[in-house]
Amino acid sequence: MSEREVLELLRENARYSTADIARMTDLEEDEVEAAIAELEAAGVVRGYQAVVDWDKLEDERVRAEVELNVRLDRETGYGDIAERLARFPQVKALRLVSGDYDFDMEVEGDSIREVSQFISEKVAPVPEITQTVTHYVMTSYKENGIELGDGDEDDRLSVSP
Amino acid sequence: MTFELSDRVQAVPPSGIRRFFEIAEERDEVISLGVGEPDFSTPWAARDAAITSLEQGKTSYTANRGKRELREAISDYVADRFDLGYGADEEIIVTAGASEAVDLAFRALVDPGDTVAIAQPSYISYEPGVIFAGGEVLSVPTKKEDDFRLTVDALEAAGASEADLLVLCYPNNPTGAIMRESDLEPVAEFAREHDLTVLADEIYAELTYEGDHTSIATLPGMRERTVVFNGFSKAHAMTGLRLGYALGPADVIGAMNKIHQYTMLSAPTTAQHAALEALDSCDGDVREMVEQYDRRRQFVLSRFREIGMDVFEAKGAFYCFPEVPEGWTAEEFAEAVLREQGVAVVPGDVFGAGGEGHLRVSYATGLDDLRKALNRLEAFVEDHV
């Protein structure tokens, strides 16, 4: 149960110190550390990353959502195709989804040219892939549950009853 | 010409909170732990319902007592959450904030010369409300040794057996104290024995940690002598929408409605639409906010213990109530912390008898600011104590 609580807090902000997590729960600091170690060891927590608003940076970052349709045969399953695609560092996320297409793939690169080349040269030629539809991301409004707008000012009175 | 202001208005001193507000406003970089309202915005579904109602032009008065659908939803909600049984027709009135409901109750129940006992420290509007209604205030101080719960000893010591009404606010603003069923039982017995009408302000009921809120009106023989106040400001983060309600026997709610229909007519219509949606679909948002408050509560209590300031374990609302170090009055301490460290807290005296020597610290503020503010408080204590 304590692991679940710690997990929730890490999902809220992975940079909370173990001391602060201990203060917010009724756990001791070493219990928090043990819970985190357990979550990592069990492969529940796979990593910690910053949530970035690329529009706030000078350098261009190109991201695309790619829909992939595949044809399976006796020797090749979804897992085989996924494994092959996931190894490319350009692929940031890859999910098998229900609906009109099979895989939903997020690709990142430094330029449109780079991303396009990756898709046409590395993805499209994969024999099982029958179709790709690429959507370039124009603006992002929310990432990982965090809104990327300027946020609401706290307009409360500074002292109130 | 100068106006001859009424004696009742002149009898009420200006609010002690005002002065701190002014000092806080003139300084930059103040982190305020002096705020008595949620830092969350109203759940989006409720705001969206308010917007939709405006788009559809639903901007006329509602029934005096509030939209029937809303009263029905309130009736179901209080039954489900707090085991309170009140009929939508005659036993519920929707008001412009719980504050209006409290004022209506005073005006409906208090005759000149009647005595209203108020368990203190408590929210600052009860005393003026009694005075505006022509009644006499009897302060019943609660004590730190009792975790700021109201006891029969305190009621007897204050002479509350002679009073006509008793005002309770649990979970409490400013202390964060709550009263469990076993704490309420002797108070209920005292009220029955001395024939006191009880006004129970339960606006913070949802913000009860480590267990559920018990309303005094659910105790035997109490429903017929109690008016319960609640609303959407705190749990649903709707302070500015001004929407509350009162629950009580038909005759008292009817009397309150008589005043309400001639003064307010009806509570804000847009807010009623938001409230209906809040009850319909925002339980998850409330649970999430309560969870956040609870974490902050534990964080703040831990930090006060680390700093070495004496603080009792508040289990309700979004306040804790630490004691100031020896040699300081609450007011001196609060003013010095504000001027030197830019942290605003409210001295407990402002909330009436029993509050002296304490600070109301609100944790209706994000964790980053809480962390910074408590670090500053720690630095202040290291410098001065």
| ipTM confidence score | 0.83
B219, B258: one domain: yes
User: Which residues lie below 8 Å from residue A131, measured CB to CB, with a gap of 6+?
Assistant: A67, A68, A69, A101
Confidence grade of residue B385 (pLDDT, cut at 50, 70, 90): confident
Cis peptide before B325 (omega within 30 of 0): no
- pLDDT of the residue at B211: 94
User: How far off is chain A from B99, nearest CA to CA, in Å?
Assistant: 12
B15, B119: one domain: no
B69, B114: one domain: yes
DSSP class of residue A123?
I
Domains and CATH numbers, chain A: 1-42 (1.10.10.10), 54-140 (3.30.70.920)
Secondary structure E strands in chain A: 62-70, 91-96, 103-109, 129-136, 142-143, 146-147
Which residue among A9, A154, A157 sits closest to B39, beta carbon to beta carbon?
A154
B107, B190: one domain: yes
Exposed e or buried b per residue across A81-118, where buried means at least 16 C-beta atoms within 10 angstroms of its C-beta: bbeebeeeebbeebeeeeeebbbebebbbeeeeebbeb
Domain edge (last residue) among B259, B281, B303: B281
B198, B313: one domain: no
Into how many domains does chain B fold?
Answer: 2
Q: Amino acid identity of A145?
A: G
B155, B275: one domain: yes
B274, B294: one domain: no
User: In this structure, is residue B2 part of a structural domain?
Assistant: no
B68, B207: one domain: yes
User: In this structure, is residue B334 part of a structural domain?
Assistant: yes
User: In this structure, is residue B239 part of a structural domain?
Assistant: yes
The CATH number given to whatever domain includes residue B120 is 3.40.640.10
Mutate which: B23, B27, B32, vs A, most A CBs within 10 A: B32
Question: Which of these, B259, B8, B247, lies nearest to B131 by C-alpha position?
Answer: B8
B109, B140: one domain: yes
The CATH number given to whatever domain includes residue B328 is 3.90.1150.10
Residue A11 has pLDDT above 90, yes or no: yes
Confidence grade of residue B17 (pLDDT, cut at 50, 70, 90): confident
- pLDDT of the residue at A60: 82
Q: Please identify among residues 140-159 of chain A the ones whose CB lies closer than 8 Å to any CB of chain B.
A: 152, 154, 156-159
What digits encode the pLDDT tens for the residues A39-55?
999 999 999 999 999 98
Give the structural domain span for B289: 7-42+283-383
Mean pLDDT of chain B: 97
User: In this structure, is residue B160 part of a structural domain?
Assistant: yes
Mutate which: B233, B299, B369, vs A, most A CBs within 10 A: B299
DSSP class of residue A119?
I
User: In this structure, is residue B1 part of a structural domain?
Assistant: no
Domain edge (last residue) among B235, B255, B281: B281
pTM for this predicted structure: 0.92
B114, B220: one domain: yes
By C-alpha distance, the chain A residue nearest B345 is: A159
B354, B336: one domain: yes
Domain edge (last residue) among B212, B247, B281: B281
Say if CB B110 and CB B116 are below 8 A apart: yes
Which residue among A26, A152, A160 sits closest to B36, beta carbon to beta carbon?
A160
> Does B32 sit within 8 Å of A159, measured CB to CB?
yes
- A23 interfaces chain B, CB cutoff of 8 Å: yes
Residue A1 has pLDDT above 80, yes or no: no
Query: B34 to chain A: which residues are within 8 Å by CB?
Result: 158-160
Tokens representing residue B372 in the block: 């910074």
